Amino acid sequence: MNVTNYDPRKVSVVVDGRIVTGFADSSMITIARSEDIVSTSVGTQGDVVYSESANRSGTLTMSLQSTSASLVWLKNIAKSRKEISVVITDASQTPAEVTNASRCRITRIPDNKKEKTAGSVDVTIFAPEIID
């Protein structure tokens, strides 16, 4: 029997050398590839062809509390249209799981939400190549 632990306090997201803080209660970050890494084609006689995709791009979506200290800083990066690097580390696994992306851009200025209670805001980053 294998028993493992996950501790979100051991997950860090570093954007442009700065640790992001103030994540929402639902999710920290979602890493999504732009397309499948392989596509398949099955011929009329059952022959199969695997086509490998060279596309390593994707989106990194961070969910932050609307009061996060990182939110203003990330909005300013988006407004300046600056390229950034992103490093996501999950040290609750052995060995630690590390995902890197460089030459990234925040694709739109995060929404400015004012709600009845403090909510969450998503920050979406496009990564030309996700390395994990």
Terminal CA-to-CA distance of the chain, rounded, Å?
27
**Residue 101 C-beta-side C-alpha neighbours within 13 Å:** 25
Binning pLDDT at 50, 70 and 90, where does residue 94 land? confident
Is the pLDDT assigned to residue 113 strictly greater than 80? no
- Where in the chain does DSSP place strands (E)? 11-15, 18-19, 29-33, 38-42, 48-52, 58-65, 84-90, 97-106, 120-127, 130-131
2-32 residue pLDDT tens: 888 889 999 999 999 999 999 999 889 999 9
Average pLDDT of span 67-87: 96
At residue 13, the pLDDT reads 97
Report CA 88 to chain centroid distance, whole Å.
8
Q: What is the pLDDT at residue 82? A: 96
pLDDT recorded at residue 63: 95
Give this prediction's pTM.
0.89
Q: CA 3 to CA 78: how far, in whole Å? A: 41
- The mean pLDDT of 78-107, rounded to a whole number, is 95
Q: Note the pLDDT of residue 84.
A: 98
Share above pLDDT 90 across residues of the chain, in percent, rounded to a whole number:
80
**Average pLDDT for the chain:** 93
- Asked if 124 and 59 count as a contact pair (C-beta separation under 8 A), the reply is yes
Compute the distance between CA of residue 25 and CA of residue 27 in angstroms, rounded to an integer. Answer: 6
